[in-house]
Amino acid sequence: MSFGQCSNNASYRYRSLVIGMLSLVSLLGVAACSQNNEKNSPTGHSSSISGVIYCSESNPGFFNPQIDTSSTTSDASAHQIYNRLLDFDAQTGRIIPGLATSWLVSKDGLTYTFQLRRNVAFHTTEYFQPTRNFNADDVIFSFQRWLDESHPYHHINGGLYPYFDSLNLAQTIKSVKRINGYRIEISLFQRDSSFLANLATDFAAILSAQYAQHLSILNKPSDIDFLPIGTGPYQFKEFRKDQFIRFTQHPQYWQQTERPQQLIFDITPSSSLRFAKLVTGECDTIAYPSQTEIEVMQANPKIIVQEAPGLNIGFWAFNTSKAPFKDPKVRRALALAIDKSTILDAIYFNSATRARSIIPPASWAFSADIPDLNYNPVKARQLLKEAGYSNGFNMNLFAMPVVRDYNPDARRMAELIRTYLAEISVTVDIQTSDWDKFRSDLSTGKHDSVLIGWSADNGDPDNFYRPLLTCAAIPSGTNRAMWCHPEFDATVNAAIATDDIDERKAFYQTANEIIAREIPLMPIAHAYRYSVHNDNIQGLTINPYGGIRFANVRESR
């Protein structure tokens, strides 16, 4: 006596449910293979709450650009929280007034006097409420902190100021004097035509002296770099590592610009995840879009792509302080063994120009007639034999874990290089690790060679030669090739001693020839800079010197 018949109406109803389930599974199959068909508006976030979400690529080390040169830190702090004495105009690149309304340069070029802006308010947050506006004391405090060793705040959070050390500004600046409440005077030891440009870079941020006193009373001085106070458009609210940074609008910002209620950095390390979030509308703009996705973004009407020639250089640096790489013949052999054009196609997907030397075409100091090395494995093997390594050697290759314009996927580039070097019997062990550990290993010289790069902070060509290849830049960790060449240093110092453009160009040309002869590093590409955002926001302009500025971004929903 089976029970089938007695509940046949029940099973009919359940059968329809089952068919519903089956159609869902088949929908899974069909839709999965369909290409990116037309899609409706991104759901993203409802309009009831205003805010801009930016998918950044990694955690900032600190919230003070003075002590950390990584672009993540300056993205998260320099342009959103702090202001500088001077700024760059996004389009023309010329220097425009920032917190200093006007400035006067003496004839001998040794003393600069700055007239400061009045009634500029600092941020008021839960952890600090300022009682006075911005004045000269803050500028003095900000400069003295990295200039004068004995300054109470100099050794807070490591006491290292890599950018200023690499330009050894501490030796060029003699003194910073306070004339009155809103005027200061800086005097130098010798002329430096790139000094004004250096004051306009991200790293010359202006901190709050009153906040510093407040913290030293509570004797928690290290908070100055973790709970920042500045005069910029946004004020810091909360940071949770590997998850997000939250800023709220600075109500009394001195520039009247229309800004969203809150700005959020959603930390998403993987670039494909960032791109996916842009498509689903969970992020309004993303950092370092990977080249493969640029074409797809251009095809998508909802996403606006801005492109500008970048002031950057991606290169493959050899650690010249170690055995096989001391000999320039070995370095030349390795450089010849690599086919630069395939790397440009496979990694940059023709969104970069082939690099002949470290100076990009966008800079005025660029000159076309620099000899370029093209792919010649036979000569490479012969050079290796001459240098005594006929049966090759093994070396490690540090591949940068994070994404940057100048090198979108260092890991895949390393794999390509490995297959090329295998042909001249050089075995390569690719090493990559977490970004902080990676940089500390580099500065202690654990690497044989490294795939990394540099993006300029200001328009001055000196910003390429000095931090990358001068002897002073080795301790500060920006000279990855550990290369110290007296003649090269002399040419670079001579270049900044004069103001005449043609003379400086000639000096930089001799510097390029020294690099081409010695090959401490093999320049690979100058990548275009992309800024990508969906149509939820407007007013985001691309900046030639990298970084992202939300000062005059507004929601267009």
Would you tell me which residues interact with other proteins (CB under 8 A)?
Answer: 1-7, 11, 14-15, 18, 21-22, 25, 27-28, 31-37, 39-46, 48-49, 51, 53, 238, 241-244, 246, 262, 264, 266, 268, 270-273, 275-277, 279-282, 290, 292-293, 295-296, 342, 345-346, 409, 412, 415-416, 419, 434
How far apart, in Å, are the Cα atoms of 529 and each of 25, 142, 547? Answer: 42, 31, 10
Strands 100-105 and 262-267: unpaired
AA identity, residue 137: D
Smallest gap from Cβ 237 to other proteins, in A, equals 8
Which amino acid is located at 375 in the chain? Y
Residue type, 328: P
Distance CA 351, CA 383 (A): 33
SS3 content of the chain, % helix, strand, coil (to 5): 35, 20, 45
Residue 8: phi, psi to the nearest 5?
-70, -30
**Smallest gap from residue 263 Cβ to other proteins (A):** 10
H or E segment at 435? Answer: helix 435-443
Least distance in angstroms from the C-beta of 418 to other proteins: 10
Which lies closer to other proteins via its Cβ, residue 386 or residue 434?
A: 434
Query: Please, what is the minimum distance in Å from the beta carbon of residue 395 to other proteins?
Result: 18
What residues contact 236, with CB distance under 8 A and at least 6 apart? Answer: 63, 81, 123, 125, 227, 228, 229, 245, 247
Which DSSP state fits 219? Answer: T
Report the residue number, 54 or 114, with the smaller CB distance to other proteins. Answer: 54
Nearest to other proteins of 9, 391 (CB atom): 9
Asked if 245 contacts 251 with a C-beta cutoff of 8 angstroms, the reply is no
Reading the block at residue 216, the tokens are 């030293």
Nearer CB in complex with other proteins: 322/418? 418
How near is the Cβ of 408 to other proteins at its closest, in Å? 10
Closest CB to other proteins among residues 391, 419:
419
Strand partners, 353: 526
Q: What beta strand segments (E) does 293-362 contain?
A: 303-309, 312-318, 352-354
**Sequence-separated (6 or more) residues with CB below 8 Å from residue 439:** 70, 477
**Whole-angstrom Cα distance, residue 488 to residue 466?**
10
Separation of alpha carbons 72 and 59, rounded Å: 7
CB closer to other proteins, 68 vs 138: 68
Q: Nearest distance from residue 54's CB to other proteins, in Å?
A: 10
Nearer to other proteins, 31 or 368 (CB): 31
Per-residue tokens: 260:
């969203």
Q: How far is the CB of 61 from other proteins (least distance, A)?
A: 12
Query: Which C-beta is closer to other proteins: that of 42 or that of 98?
Result: 42
Closest distance of CB 283 from other proteins, Å: 9
Specify the residue, 1 or 368, whose C-beta has the smaller distance to other proteins.
Answer: 1
Least Å distance, CB 460 to other proteins, is: 36
End-to-end CA gap in the chain: 67
> Cβ of residue 42: shortest distance to other proteins, in angstroms?
6
Residue 310 in 3-state DSSP? coil
Residues 6+ apart with CB under 8 A from 201: 84, 163, 457, 458, 463, 545
